[in-house]
Amino acid sequence: GENVEQHPSTLSVQEGDSAVIKCTYSDSASNYFPWYKQELGKRPQLIIDIRSNVGEKKDQRIAVTLNKTAKHFSLHITETQPEDSAVYFCAASRGSSASKIIFGSGTRLSIRP
C-alpha cells in the first residue's frame, strides 16, 4: 500500500523567511496530493492540492511542487507570518474516487518573531 514520508518533523523559521516541507510517496500510481493545515486544537483543513499532470501550483504565499519521477512533492510558504504556525500534513491518493487518502506524519512549523 501507499506510504507517505514527511520531513522535517519540526521546523522553526524567522518571520518573513520561507519554509519548505518535503514529502515522498511510494505508490507510483498516486496522482493527487493535498496539503492540510492543523492549528492547535483544531481540525485539519485543506490549504492547497496538486494533481500529477501539473508540476507546480501557487496560491498567494503558498506553492506546491511535484516531481513525479522522483516521487516527491513539496510545500513552499514564502514571507511567513505568525498565523502560519501550525502542523502541516501532506497526503497522497491514487486519484480515483474510491482511493484511500494516506497522510504523512506531519511537520510542526513555528514562526519566530
Binding residues for another protein, rule: CB under 8 A, are 1, 6, 32, 34, 36, 43-46, 49, 51, 89, 93-106, 108
Q: How far is the CB of 57 from another protein (least distance, A)?
A: 12
State which amino acid sits at residue 13. V
| Distance of alpha carbon 84 from alpha carbon 69, whole angstroms | 30
Query: Is residue 65 classed exposed, middle or buried when 0-12, 13-18 and 19+ CB atoms within 10 A define those classes?
Result: middle
Compare residues 24 and 93 and give the one whose CB is closer to another protein. Answer: 93
DSSP 84: G
Compare residues 45 and 81 and give the one whose CB is closer to another protein. Answer: 45
Q: How far is the CB of 16 from another protein (least distance, A)?
A: 27
